[in-house]
Structure 1
Amino acid sequence: MTRRAIGTFTTAFEPLTSDDDFIGRLRVRKTIDGDLTGEGLAEMMSVGTAVEGSAGYVAIDRITGTLDGRAGSFVLQHFGLMDRGAGTLTVRVVPDSGTGELTGLTGSFAIVNEGGVHSYTFDYELPTGSAST
């Protein structure tokens, strides 16, 4: 059964070195509140183009915390594109990345940034016996 977690998170960005001036790298630290609570640590690579409003990024994001009363960690993979100002973002749980009480977690994580406030909607599933009823 698919469940839904909602909440907010804050981010702090730290530039990382890159051997290519075209590719940007960042470390992203998150503090997550709501139905999912915990910390996130991600590494992100991004690139802009000569066309205004066109860019892309990928990130691997390890989340450690509590989801629906279950403790553990899992990894999110981000894939974002801007096509002349029109954005798409896919964020999914990496298969078999869940640990502890989050083993077997699957799902999609939607992010909204309005006025500098990040919110999330996390549609997820846990194997039978793992999620609370």
Structure 2
Amino acid sequence: MTAKGTFDTANWTPQPPFDDRDGVTLGLVTLDKAWHGDLTGTSVVTMLIATTPVETSRSYVALERFEGTLDGRTGSFVVQHDARGDGGEQSVSVRVVADSATGELRGLRGEIGIAIAPDGTHSYTFDYTL
């Protein structure tokens, strides 16, 4: 099955870097999301990020807990992010953590694709099984 929609981010809260040397910074950021469309609800993201002197070369890993509804089914689940930029080439993987879903979403598996429009709008396509 496929769910589609948009999401907004808010409350970006960076912590002071825990390692900062030779132009490479390691830090922690938390943020909130509001999901709209087939996936409706809220989530909290905890992200570890690495930045380099090259603006387009950076990386992050994150865990995110969603609470709300997916195509009318209520529950929660956790996703794991793995994203990297390499001199302008970007890749991101956002996958449901196995057996993390609760309520009517128990058994959920899947991957979320994210796109960012030139105006900054974030959209998603969630390919999943239940």
Tell me the TM-score normalised to structure 1 length.
Answer: 0.89
TM superposition shift of 1:48: 1.4
Alignment-derived partner of residue 129 in structure 1: none
RMSD over aligned CA atoms reads 1.1
Shift of 1:14: 1.4
In 2, distance between residues paired with 1:55 and 1:110? 19
What stretches of structure 1 of length at least 5 have no aligned partner? Answer: 127-133
Matches of 1:101 and 1:16, distance apart in 2? 35
Q: What residue is the counterpart of 2:18 in the other structure?
A: 19
Q: Deviations over 1:34-65 (max 9, x none)?
A: 00100010101111123342111011000000
So what's the TM-score if we normalise by structure 2? Answer: 0.91
Query: What is the correspondence of 1:55-66 to structure 2 with a 5 Å cutoff?
Result: 55-66=58-69
Partner of 1:116: 120
Kindly tell me the number of residue pairs found equivalent between the two proteins.
124
1:43 match: 46
Correspondence for 1:130 = none
Could you say which residue in structure 2 is the equivalent of 1:4? Answer: 2
Percent identity over the alignment is: 50
Partner of 1:76: 79
Letter in 2 for 1:10: D
Which 4+ runs in 1 deviate beyond 6 A? none
